[in-house]
Structure 1
C-alpha cells in the first residue's frame, strides 16, 4: 500500500465507428458515401451508440460490503450512491458519498470518492484534504502527498498543518513535522494541538526544558488537553520534578481519553443513518455537555440495534452523570449482559450500585473485576470503600492497602485508609496516613477535616482547630468542619470574646448550610449561644434541635439535647459541651 493513491481517470471523448478518419462520413453498411438524409440517420445512430459506450467507461462507484449493516444505513448509502449515479459530474455528490464512507470506516472507498471529486474540481482545497485525512490511517505516504496538495491550495488553514505534521512525524520526517506544527501555531494562537506536537517532538529528542515550555503553552491554550498533561508529566519526570509530574499525571487521569481538535473543514458529517451514526453523534453531543440530546441519540441507536453493548454502556455512564442512577443501572446491566467480559462496564455498574446504596451488588461486581484484573487500583479502592460502609473493616483495609501499594501517590486512598483505622480506634496510624495524604495533595480538604477530628480526640485542640480552619479555607461552605470548629471554640476552657463571636458565626453558618434541619448543627449553635450568654437564643436553638432529633428517631441525641436544654435553662445557664 505504500505510495498508493487512487489512479487518475482521464475524461475520454468517444468516437463513433462511423466517423471517418479523413473527415468524411461513410455508410456503416456499404462504406459508400450516403445521401444527406442517410448521413443524418447515421449520425443519430452513432451518437446513441457512442453514448452507450461512454456510459460503460464512466468511473464505477466504489461499493463497500453492506451485507452486515442495518437497514437504515443501507438505505442511506444506496441513496448517496444513487445521487452520484444520476449526477456523475458533481464533485459535491462524490464528496458526500465519500463523507458517508469515511464516517463508517470504509476508508479505501472514501478515498476513491474524494479522488474523483478532486478530479472534477481540482482547485478545491476540501477534496485533497479529506482524502489525506482518510488515508492517514491506511496509507500515511499517500496521505502526506494529499495533505501537501491541499496546503498548496489553501495554505492558511491551521488544522491542515497540524494533521500534515502528525503524518510527517509518523513517517519519521521530523524536521518537516516541526515546521508544520510551527506554521499551525503561528496561524492559530489558540491551537493547543500545535504546541502539543512541538512539545512531543522535543520530548522524544530529549530536549526536556524546551518540551516543557511548549507543553505548558499548550495547556495555557487548553487547560483540559489530556495528551498535553501526559506529555508534560513525562517532561517533568525527566527533569526530576516528581511532584509536578504526579500532578499532571493525575490531572490527565481525570480527563476524557482524547482531546479533539476543532477542524470544521475536516469534520464533515453525513446525515445520521444507522445505529453507529446515532452512537457517534451521541458521543459528540456528550463531549459538548448536551446530555439530554446525547441520550436521545443513544436511544435512537438502540432502536436500530438493541444489541449494541457499547451504546448501552455510553448511555449508562451518561445517565449516571445526570444522577439518574436507577436508569443507569439498567443500561449498564444490559451492557454487562451482552458482554460479560467488559470489565469497564462492570466496574461502572459497581460504582452505580454503590451510589444507590446497593452495597452487596456493588461488592459482587467489583470483586469480579478484580478476579479478571487483580492490579486494578480503582477497583481495590472502591471495593475497600464499599466494604468500609458495610462495616467489614479488616477486608476494607486490605483492599485499600492494596490500592495504595499499586498507586502510592493517590491521596484519596490514604484518606480512606485513615478513616478505616480511625473506626478501628487506631488513631496514631490514621494520623500518619492523613499526613501522607497531605504530603501528596496539600490542599486535600477532607484530609484536613479528618485530621482535625483526630487531633481533637487526642486532646490537641489548637492543632485540630488549625486543621478545621484550613479545611474551611479550601472549602468555605462545608458545614461539618464549621460546626466542629464552632464547638471547639465554644467549649475550650477559657474562651475569649473573639472565640465566642467566631463560634456563633460558624455555628450559624453550619445551620444555614444545612437548611436549619440538622439537629447537630442546631445543638452546636445552642452551645455557642449559651457560652456567649445569649441564653434565649440558646434555648430556641436547642428546642429546634430537640424537635428534629425526636422526629427523626435519634434517641441518644434526644437525651443529650435535653440535658443541654436543662443546663441552658438552669439559673447558672452554664454549658460545657454539645454533641460531637
Structure 2
C-alpha cells in the first residue's frame, strides 16, 4: 500500500486531469510520481498505459497495462487493454492467449456468453489455441449446437495433428462423429489424418483436393459460424437411405399384422412381433440403445427380414458401431429393395472406419445402380466397364484426394429430396454432351466443377449450330478448368472433326487413346483409336495399335474388321505385298472369330484376288483350295479352282475337281446346271479332250447328236493342229459312231491319219 496515500491520491488525480485535458506528457509525469509513492497499485500503471497509447508509444503502453493487470490480480478491464494493445502491435498469438485468460475469468463468474465471446476472439487471433477450442467444443456440445461443436473438434484435430499426436487428433474427430455420424467433413478429416495429409494444408488451400476444383473444404471444416447457425440438427442421411428406412419401418409394421398362412400365432412369433413392435416404437422416439436391444433379440429369435437388418444397421451406425453396422448392411444388400441404400450405408461406414478403398467400392456400386436405370440395355456393359475404370482410378491408382472429393460429391448429390429427378436431368445432359462415347454419372462428380460440364454442354450446342470456333473456345475453357478430364478432350476432338480439321482431330484422339491406355481404360482407348482411323483411314500405326488392343482383349471380330481395313489401306497406297501380309496375319486369327462372319473365306478371297491380279497362279491356287473346303457350294470358287489347275498345268487335277463339283450338283438336285458349266468350259478350251468328252456324253444322252458332233469336230481340229494324231484318230472314230451326214469325209481323213 502507499506510504503516503494523500500524496499518491494527489498525483493520481492530477494524472487523470491531465488525461482529460489531453496533456499526455504531464499525465505521464504525474502517474510516475504516484508510482513512486505506491509501486504496487494498478491504477497509475493503467494511466500510464492510456497516455502512452494516445502518444502511439505502444510498447510502453503494453508494458504498463501488463503491470496494471498484474497488480490488480487479473482485473478484466486491464486484461482487455493488454489484449487490445497486443493486437495493435501484431502480437496476435499473445493477444489470443490474453483473451483466453479473460474467458476463463468470465467462466469463473458464471458469465458463459461473455466467456464464449472472448474464446471466439482468441481463436480468431490465434487459431492454434487448443484450450480455447476445447472450451468452445465443450460448451457447444452441451448446448446441442452440432455444427459449431464439430467445427471446434476439427480445429482441435488439426492442432493435435500438427504436434504429431495423430491418435489424439483421431479421437477429436471421433468426438465430432458422435455428434453426426454422417458428417462428410469429419469423415474427410479422418481420411486425411490416416493418410498422413496435413489438415493445415487443406486450410491454406494448398491441398490436392482443391486443385481438382473441389474448393471450400476449409470453409466447411473451420469457418466461423454465426450464432444463428447453432442448430442442433445433424446432417441428414442421404435420401435413398431415408427412403429405405421409411420402407423398412413400414414393412416391419405391416408384418406385425400379417397372419396369412398362420393357423395360429405360436409363442415364438408372438415374442418376435412384440420385440419388433417395441423396436419400432423406440426407433421412432429416438431411443437408440433400447431399439438396438429389441432388434437384436428379435433377430436372434428368428426375425431375419432384410428390413430388420437394415434398421439395426442404421442404429448401429448412429452409435458409431460401424463394424456391427457393416455386418447388418451386408445382409440387407442382398435384398433388391434395400440394395441401393445398403451400398450407400456401407460406403459411409467403411469411410468412417478409414477404409476409403472399400468405401469407394460401395459408393460406386450406388452410382452404378442409379445410372443403370437411366440407360438403354445395350449400353449397360459399357457403363459397367466405365465404372470399373473409375474405381480403378480412384482406388488402385491411389488418387486419394480424388476419392475423397468423389465421396463428398456423391453424398451431396444424393442428400436431397428429388434426387431421382436430378439423376434423370444429369443423364440427359451427359447424353447431349457425349457424342463421341458414353459418359457416366461419375463424370458429373469427378469433373471438378459444374462449370466444366456447363462449358461442354454449351460447346455441344454451338457445334450443332455450326458455330465451331465458339464451340472450340468453350471446350478449351472446360479443359483449363479440368486439364485431366478426358471427356472435355473428346469433345474438342469431335468439334475439330465437325469443322473439317480431320488431321488435327485425329492427333487429338491419338493422345486421348494413349492416355486411356496408360489409365488402363481399354474400352476408352479402343473408342479413341477408332476415331483416329475414322478421321485418318490411312494412319496404319494407329490402326495397328487398335488391332493389338482388340486382340489382347478378346474382341476378335472387331480386330479382323480392322485387319481388312488395314489391308485395303495398304492396297490404296500401292503396297500390295504389305496388304497381302496383313490379310495373311489376319488369317491366323480368323478361326477365333464368329462363325457367321465367315472370316477365313473373306480373307482368303482378299489374298486370292491379289495373287490373281499379279498372275501368281500357284499362290492363288492355294487360297482357292482352302476356299473350296470352306464353301463347297460356291460355284465361282469351284470354277476358279478348275481354271487355276489348268493355268498351272495340272489338267488331271482340274478334271478331278470338276467331276467332284458336278457330282455334288447332281446329288443336291442342281443337275440342270451341269451342262451349262461344261459348255462354258468347252468354249474356253475347245481342244481339251476331257471337257469335250464329258459334254459330248451329255449331248448324246439328251439326243443332241449334231451338237455332240460339232464339239467333237472342233476337238479333232485342235488335235490335228497340235499334231496329236492319236487323239485325233480317237475323236474321229467317236464322230463316226454317231453317223454324221458327212461320214465319208471323216472316213477319208481317218484313213489318211492311220497310214
TM > 0.5 fold call: no
Q: Relative contact order: is structure 1 or structure 2 higher (C-alpha 8 Å, sep ≥ 6)?
A: 1
Kindly indicate which of the two structures has a greater share of residues assigned to helix: 2
TM-score, with normalisation over the residues of structure 2?
Answer: 0.29
